[in-house]
Amino acid sequence: MQAAIWLIILPLLTAFFIGISKVFYSYKLLFPLVTGSAILYLYLLISVIDHSYPPKVYSVGDWGLLGINIMVDPFSGLLLLMIALLFLPVIVFSLKYITFHTHNYFILTYIMTAGIAGMVLTADLFNLYVFLEVSSLSSCALVALKKTNKAIEGTFKYLVMSTLGSFFILLATILTYDLTGTLNMAEISVAFQDIPFQIKSILMAFFIFGYAIKIGLIPLHAWLPDSYEESPIPYNVLSSGLVMKSAVYALIRVLYILFGFDFLDETGMLQIGVVWGVVTFLIAHLLAFQQSNVIRLLAYSSIAQIAYITIGLFVGTERGLIGGNFHILNHAIMKGTLFFVIAIFHYSLTAVDIKDLKGLGFRFPLLSFTFVVASLAIVGLPPFNGFISKWLIVEAALDAGFIYAAFSILVGTFLSLTYYLKVIVTLYTKTDKTIEMKEPGLALKLPTIFLGSLCIVFGIAPSLPLSLIDKIPTFLLDHEEYISILLGG
């Protein structure tokens, strides 16, 4: 279980030594240091995931407010699985792709990963906020890495909105401590039973508003497309796959563990969450259709996919939680694949507008086919992984009586098909223009094909990830079990 601590410590140490290598050895140690650490990190992730059921608790110190409980259960195991699937491919890809501010990029990437791992593992409300800020601030710095006018503008919007979200989360955390005298999530949940309904409702509203900004739900989304447009594209893989998902994870952990399912149902928050999700993905799909820049298109698509996840997680049933969590994993894989392919096109001929992709389906047949697979998967067509998770969410919505949500998801599927088809048709439209291109190597192709293949594997054999995901509802719908394990640890 001590390996879980190293999921936070190792990336921080790596970031430190990358900085040392920049000062003393320039690029001589960068490649072995970055790759060696990433491989070791993957090994640690796998060993911790293997022990995620039954849940394990580890105490780091016993110093009152400074003590930290780390807990690994199937829900945190899912996010660790996503880190395992994305982190090493992104590192390998970045070693070839990133040619500007290379040391800074890897330092910030490892710090961001440490923050995400800390959010996933901690069972302490204040440390959840601290690790959230670690990942958010390093993300802001990565957005600004190119130092172009658009990058600075996107960073400014990201920083302002992220700070606003952090303010409400910190305010809710401080008020929670003032009311309960503890920051341990299990102890807070027990103490909340004696807190008046109105005060708990206000605290919940603060948490939801703060995390909704971090997630990018409409109308709190405006920062997201601008922050993606000029960011290093490999960072966008981690941003959409891990940074946003860790905020979703934190919100669901707080709502289901601290407040509980019964309180969410009593306040009508479950119904509000479903409606918010429907409105978000319908608007996001319409905005995505209007985009001429493929990066912005993918950004709006991410907002829509987060909305599907929100619906699944707020339906409040076991099937909804399974579908929502499966879509968390699937979206990370699908969107990571799409960003990787676009990054290769940008690397080869600086193409980011849809019109610039014309004819590339014939120039890069395997990569273009991978893009098609990931596009059809994210639309939600069989036999790909996105179909399975979206179908589970639709079934859950119907079972819970949210017929309008289920119907809207089908409408959203059609809307997303229209703009992804626009890109696919452009890829396979012949052109007479001769453009000089840089040939991508295996370091760029292999991570892309690896993630793309998972869209097929998890669609044909969904039982592989579902064996972990099926256990998640036990620790969310019945939060008493989570509480007893944590307090017993």
Are 48 and 80 within 8 A, CB to CB?
A: yes
Please, which pLDDT band fits residue 64 given cuts at 50, 70 and 90?
very low
Please, which pLDDT band fits residue 65 given cuts at 50, 70 and 90?
very low
Are 459 and 352 within 8 A, CB to CB?
A: no
- Report residue 353: phi and psi, to 5°: -85, 150
- Residue 483, CB half-sphere, CA atoms under 13 Å: how many? 18
Beta strands in 23-141 (DSSP E): 56-60, 68-72
- In this prediction, residue 377 carries a pLDDT of 95
d(CA 387, CA 466) in angstroms, rounded, equals 14
Reduce the DSSP state of residue 293 to 3 states and report it.
Answer: strand
pLDDT higher at 331 or 433: 331
State how far Cα 459 lies from the chain centre. 20
Give me the percent of the chain exceeding a pLDDT of 90.
58
Work out the average pLDDT over 271-299: 93
- In this prediction, residue 352 carries a pLDDT of 75
d(CA 213, CA 215) in angstroms, rounded, equals 5
Considering the chain, what is the average pLDDT of its residues? 89
pLDDT 10s digits, 299-347: 999 999 999 999 999 998 999 999 999 999 999 999 999 999 999 998 8
For 463, residues 6+ apart whose C-beta sits below 8 A from its C-beta are none
- In this prediction, residue 250 carries a pLDDT of 94
Reduce the DSSP state of residue 28 to 3 states and report it.
Answer: coil
pLDDT above 80 for 181? yes
Give CA angle at 304 (400, 383), nearest 5°: 75
On the 0-12 / 13-18 / 19+ scale of CB atoms within 10 A, 353 is middle
- In this prediction, residue 151 carries a pLDDT of 85
pLDDT above 70 for 28? no
Domain chopping of the chain, boundaries: 3-488
Specify the amino acid at residue 213: I
pLDDT 10s digits, 111-158: 999 999 999 999 889 999 999 999 999 999 999 988 888 889 888 999
pLDDT 10s digits, 155-179: 899 999 999 999 999 999 999 999 9
d(CA 396, CA 266) in angstroms, rounded, equals 20
For 87, residues 6+ apart whose C-beta sits below 8 A from its C-beta are 38, 41, 42, 45, 113, 238
Tokens (6 digits) for 474? 């036990």
pLDDT higher at 63 or 2: 2
DSSP 361-410: HHHSHHHHHHHHHHHHHHHT-TTSHHHHHHHHHHHHHHHTT-HHHHHHHH
d(CA 208, CA 362) in angstroms, rounded, equals 46
pLDDT 10s digits, 83-92: 999 999 999 9
Reduce the DSSP state of residue 290 to 3 states and report it.
Answer: coil
Are 171 and 206 within 8 A, CB to CB?
A: yes
| Of the candidates 362, 377, 380, 345, the residue with the CA atom closest to the CA atom of residue 451 | 377
Residue recorded with tokens 């928050």: 269
pLDDT 10s digits, 367-394: 999 999 999 999 999 999 999 999 999 9
d(CA 135, CA 120) in angstroms, rounded, equals 12
pLDDT above 60 for 489? no
Tell me which H or E stretch contains 175: helix 149-180
How many beta carbons lie within 10 A of that of residue 63, not counting itself? 8
For 434, residues 6+ apart whose C-beta sits below 8 A from its C-beta are none
d(CA 472, CA 466) in angstroms, rounded, equals 10
With b meaning 16 or more CB within 10 Å and e meaning fewer, what string describes 358-387?
bbbbebbeebbebbbbbbbbbbbeeebbbb
Please, which pLDDT band fits residue 26 given cuts at 50, 70 and 90?
low
pLDDT 10s digits, 42-59: 888 888 887 767 777 777
- Residue 158, CB half-sphere, CA atoms under 13 Å: how many? 28
How many beta carbons lie within 10 A of that of residue 172, not counting itself? 24
